[in-house]
Amino acid sequence: MKADSWHMQGLGIHTNTPYDHVTALQPGFHSLDSQQSSKEEWQQILERVSAGDNDLTHDYTILGPPPAAIAAFDPSPRQSIETSTAMGFEPQMTTSGSNPALYPFIPVEPQFGGWTATSEPSLSYPPAIPEHEQWSAPPASMMPNGLPASAHVHPSQFYYPQEPHFTSAGPSPMLSQGSPHDSDFVDVGWDQPDVPQPWLDSSGSDEINDIDAIEVCYAQLLWRCLKEAPEHTMTLKELYDWVREHSQKAKDPKNRGWQNSVRHNLSMNAAFERVPPRESQGVKKGSLWRLTPAALRDGVISTTRYRKDPKHKPLKRATPALKRQISGAKGGQATRNAQRRQQQLREARSYPNLLTRQRHNDLRQPHRPGPPIMPPMPFYDNHPLPHPFMPLYDHPPSPYFLDVDDQISRSAPLTPPRVQMLYDSQPKSMLSEFNFGHIDFTNGGIIGGGGEHEYFAPDTPSLGTEASYMSDDGMQSLLSHNASREPTTFPVDV
């Protein structure tokens, strides 16, 4: 294989096994020598993995189509079965237990130069992966921002260094113009539900593939977008554009208030902050919105945390205002629909055999008894390493739940979080649950607790608002609610 990784397609094995039989392609990529490992050999492996063969020398986690799909591949060099290691794997990660994962590949854009270095107009895109009863879309949380579950994206791509993604009115962080992930490929099935969906289950049902099924809440949408934006900052209009393109919420003609909801979330969620005018020069109208460092690191939590302390909740009117009643009902319906979709997705994800064995996890994670913690949305992170990383348990409570005075009074620097690396070779069975302590992937990474508070601006209007509502008791109840769950853990960027 050449260093040109455009043509890596077909099935690949994402592995942290020793690099024997592996030929370096370019940083982070290795190609199995096709002379030494035939298609048949790989097919055998895939079949054994799929069957849950316990005698395999390595652990495998299937994240790609079942072996039957292999037969459809044209064994041309461009479609050879290859091994890749996500870039940034550190040596120690290759020495212990192995746990490769099988992925579908898509053409991989050259990393160097970022998305602007588009080229090769005559890209050959991967063939559609045949339908298979055991194959369904990967978890939404494993898909990069804005991509439908039908898109075939090699996870290592998520870790590529990327140029700042967003140009105003550009299509998306991921779907920058000229990218092979642009509409020619990725958008197939996004806006065109009639196009055959390779990742669709064999019934042809749209249950799994329905983009609604991976719809996430506004706060998460905004978080995802801002996370990848240059300086994690965007204008309101850019946010509108992004949500319009990437959320079914904005596509629903009945939902005329989605922009209002966007603004509502921006205003009310402490994950987002308005950039002071002096920093947003050049913005003619409105201001810039930025992801707070804490939110960047820890993810976003529910906007509704600003609900008033129940003790201070104003009395409901004896007869609710009719207009509010109507809008409330609409909101309720929308929530119900969204939750039904989530439920469908959860059911779809519970397909057997897609998430398989895990043997060496305990060896790799001797100090952490619980399930692996994944970051809220690792896939768009610019960090070259295939994190997730996780800190241990000695974090302070979420800044979002700290009293303002308390925050101000804490001046001593906090102990930096200790981090522990987890890689994609972690048990995928946990992915099927989509709940990593506080990091619940059913909501795309909305977390129930935050990290340190050092970045938190005490004068954040929203917090002030919140604090003004929150009595001590109210705060305590929130904290105790928080504490009643699993130990708080916070994925972090390093």
Partner DNA sequence: AGCCGGTTAAACAAAA
Partner DNA sequence: TTTTTGTTTAACCGGC
Q: Is 278 in the site for DNA (CB under 7 A)?
A: no
Q: 274 forms bridges with which residues in the sheet?
A: 289
| Shortest spacing between CB 301 and DNA, in angstroms | 7
How do strand 101-105 and strand 10-14 relate by DSSP bridges?
antiparallel
Q: Which residues contact 7 (CB under 8 A, 6 or more apart)?
A: 77, 78, 79, 107, 124
Q: How many residues in the shown chain lie near DNA by CB under 7 A?
A: 72
Site for DNA in 324-343 (CB under 7 A): 324-336, 338-340, 343
CA atoms 105, 52, 420, 21: torsion sign: negative
Residue in 69, 151, 295, 446 binding DNA, rule: CB under 7 A:
446
Nearer to DNA, 314 or 352 (CB): 314
Q: How far is the CB of 199 from DNA (least distance, A)?
A: 23
Would you count residue 177 as binding DNA (CB under 7 A)? Answer: no
How many CA atoms are closer than 13 Å to the CA of 157, on its beta-carbon side?
29
Asked if 390 interacts with DNA (CB under 7 A), we say no
Question: Which of residues 273 and 452 has its CB atom nearest to DNA in the complex?
Answer: 273
**Of residues 261 and 358, the one with the C-beta less far from DNA:** 261
Helix (H) or strand (E) holding 406: helix 404-409
d(CA 435, CA 28): 29
Q: How far is the CB of 111 from DNA (least distance, A)?
A: 33
The pair phi, psi for residue 50, each rounded to 5°, is: -60, -35
- CB neighbours of 253 closer than 8 A, spacing ≥ 6? none
The encoded tokens of residue 348 equal 């779809």
**Angstrom distance (rounded) from CA 243 to CA 225:** 8
126-to-26, 69, 75, 105, 144 alpha-carbon distances in Å:
21, 12, 12, 8, 18
| Binding pattern for the stretch 228-247 against DNA, x by CB under 7 A and - elsewhere | --------xx--x-------
Q: Is 346 in the site for DNA (CB under 7 A)?
A: no
CB nearer to DNA: pick between 267 and 382: 267
Question: Using alpha carbons only, how large is the chain's radius of gyration in Å?
Answer: 23
Q: Judge contact between 360 and 99, C-beta under 8 A.
A: yes
Please report how close the Cβ of residue 170 comes to DNA at its closest, in angstroms.
17
The binder of DNA chosen from 85, 176, 233, 261 (CB under 7 A) = 261
d(CA 105, CA 12): 6
Q: Which of 26, 124, 167, 287 binds DNA (CB under 7 A)?
A: 287
* Positions 359 through 388 that interact with DNA (CB under 7 A): none
**Structure tokens that stand for 293 in this block:** 């460092």
Stretch that binds DNA, among 81-89, 94-102, 312-320, 356-364 (CB under 7 A): 312-320
Q: Which is nearer to DNA, 461 or 487 (CB)?
A: 461
Residue 251 as a binder of DNA (CB under 7 A): the answer is no
Task: Kindly tell me which residue out of 216, 271, 294, 385 binds DNA, with binding defined by CB under 7 A.
Answer: 216
The nearest distance, CB 372 to DNA, in angstroms, is 21
Closest CB 332 distance from DNA, rounded Å: 2
- Asked if 398 touches DNA (CB under 7 A), the answer is no
